[in-house]
Structure 1
Amino acid sequence: HHNSKMQAPMEHRWSPYADNGGTCLGVAGNDFCVLAADTRLSTGYSILTRDCSKVTQLTDKCVIASCGMKSDAITLHKHMKARIVMYEHKHRRQPSVCAIAQMLSTMLYGK
């Protein structure tokens, strides 16, 4: 018995994006905020490490947490820290949390 149906060739596409997963959570109130993140770094069903921070301290009063592609998060955090250092040199003080939020918005969505 011969199967007369021809199966279409399966096409595998390469993607440079790797979702390394993770969970980040922020809760804020009038005079506080809490930021939490897991420390697992994975790819697919494989756990690469259970000791990988997703949180970066930007200033005395500002931290950022990022999940997803770890290399994107590392690059974003490094660029933000570099811009904050430039701000500190120019203005001789740390930027406010609102200024950092605006900077992040411009970095991610600005032209």
Structure 2
Amino acid sequence: MEGEVSKSHHHSSILAIAGPDFCIVAADTRQSSGYLINCRTAPKAYKLTNSAVLATSGFHADGAEFYRVLATKIKMYRYKHERDMDIALIAQASAIQLYSRRFFPYYTFNVLGGIDAEGRGAVYSYDPVGSFEREPFRAGGSAAALIQPFLDNQLGKDSSGNQRILTQEKAIAVARDAFDAATERDIYTGDNLDVWVINAHGASMERFPLKRD
């Protein structure tokens, strides 16, 4: 139809895990349309501050634009208040920005991870028009149906109803195992895995190889 705007689902998989004093945000780097791989090194997780990282899945250009707008809001806040937004403020600002575009929404599904004012890990998941909630962990993207049950099994309460003790090393291992398994079943996930670790020392990223075929 003339004048119609078409947005492709570039696929991708993302997750975030909140720990007692850390947060893990992970995303693969494959960008694809159908059976065509457009790029093998496309970032999906973006550092916002030393205590917050945003991961996006869906239409890649919309995800990059949403990050750019949010980063600008954070920068303006820093200039005005001489400090960074905390994760709760970033979560609210993200929801407001997504809702402001509700009549022509970003074609993205976002997960925000970081450290809250009390030093605890925090994960917020969003729908495309800004509805959000805080969760202990969340997967999104093309392999979400594969990864989320694995996270529930590995990180949820045990058979006795007790919450499992989660360390930073365990969270990273679970994230890597989840993506390694997802690449065996989801053709849209692969190439590399960017794992962001956010803790009291700041935010740092390490890249791990994934299945490439």
TM tier, smaller: 0.7 to 0.9
Structure 1 residue 102 and structure 2 residue 92: aligned? yes
Aligned pairs for 1:19-58 (under 5 A) are 19-58=9-48
Larger radius of gyration: 1
Code of the residue aligned with 2:24 in structure 1: it is V
* 1:45-73: CA deviation from partner (whole Å, max 9, x where unpaired): 10111111101100011110001100100
Query: Higher relative contact order at CA 8 Å, sep ≥6: structure 1 or structure 2?
Result: 2
Match of 2:62 in 1: 72
Q: Structure 1 length as normaliser, TM-score?
A: 0.83
Hey, what's the Cα distance between the residues in 1 that align with 2:54 and 2:36?
26
* 1:52-98: CA deviation from partner (whole Å, max 9, x where unpaired): 11011000111100011001001000000000010001101101011
Hey, what's the Cα distance between the residues in 2 that align with 1:27 and 1:60?
17
Hey, what's the Cα distance between the residues in 2 that align with 1:15 and 1:42?
19
Hey, what's the Cα distance between the residues in 1 that align with 2:68 and 2:13?
20
- Unaligned runs of 5+ residues in structure 2 are 103-213
Code of the residue aligned with 1:49 in structure 2: it is C
Structure 1 runs of 4+ off > 3 angstroms?
Answer: none
Cα offset for 1:15?
5.1
Q: How many residue pairs were aligned?
A: 99
Identity %: 35
CA RMSD of aligned residues (A): 1.7
Match of 1:89 in 2: 79
Cα offset for 1:108?
1.0
